[in-house]
Amino acid sequence: MHLFVVRHGETDHNVQNRYAGSTDVPLNATGLLQAEQLAEMLKGSSFDLIITSPLLRARKTAEIINSWLSLPLVVVNEFTERNVGFYEGLTQEEVKSQYPELYARRCTRQPDDAPTGGETYRESDVRVSTALEELRAAYPNKRVLLVCHSRVARIIHKFYNGLSYDEMHEFSLGNCEVAEYTA
């Protein structure tokens, strides 16, 4: 499988440095424009299908891209963003001031820790990696465009490059940026 990973377009949460996680926030005007620009850039590319997270910001990005490509569009729940519990909707500064001990633990970056009510990186890694294995089995010789989220993109990058959890955090995919993987 030849996989192209796209992070969704910009949201107000991105601009405000808020944790969105599994909260269903929409694209903002810039995000809609980014998706249109990426769609135009990809229009000459040959993909076999588009996979997307069920969250609105990823789905809308995928739909805009697909308006130029007219491909099968499949929603896969396992590619939803990591749930960060009660951090969702808060800025990093709000978390730092309201929960200084938890913030100091850097729980959102640890493999087996998470804010209360959230998913650990290891839990989300298992979910995403299992879905990737299923995609590779289902589409072995296909070119797949996957629209997802920043933490999911990090896990995918870790998966394809055999990285540790610490190394994984060095990778970052910007809004409507594309990363490419083979195998």
| Percent of the chain scoring above 90 in pLDDT | 98
* For residues 135-158, average pLDDT: 97
Q: Quote the pTM value.
A: 0.96
The reported pLDDT for the residue numbered 148 is 98
The reported pLDDT for the residue numbered 125 is 98
CA distance 60 to 148: 11
pLDDT 10s digits, 46-71: 999 999 999 999 999 999 999 999 99
Neighbouring residues of 164: CB distance < 8 A, sequence distance ≥ 6: 158
Domains of the chain (ranges; CATH) run 2-82+120-182 (3.40.50.1240)
Q: Are 118 and 82 in contact (CB under 8 A)?
A: yes
The reported pLDDT for the residue numbered 138 is 97
The mean predicted confidence, pLDDT, of the chain is 97
Burial label for 71, CB within 10 Å (0-12, 13-18, 19+), is: middle
Q: So which residues are the catalytic ones?
A: 8, 81
Per-residue pLDDT band at 183 (split at 50, 70, 90)? confident
Q: Are 94 and 27 in contact (CB under 8 A)?
A: no
Per the listing, tokens 């007219």 go with 70
Query: Residues in the chain, how many?
Result: 183
Helix axes 29-42, 56-69, angle to 10 degrees: 30
| Residue 118: alpha-carbon gap to chain centroid | 16
Structure token pair of residue 144: 């797949």
Residue 162 has φ and ψ, to the nearest 5°, of 60, 40
* For residues 65-79, average pLDDT: 97
Structure token pair of residue 167: 């190394």
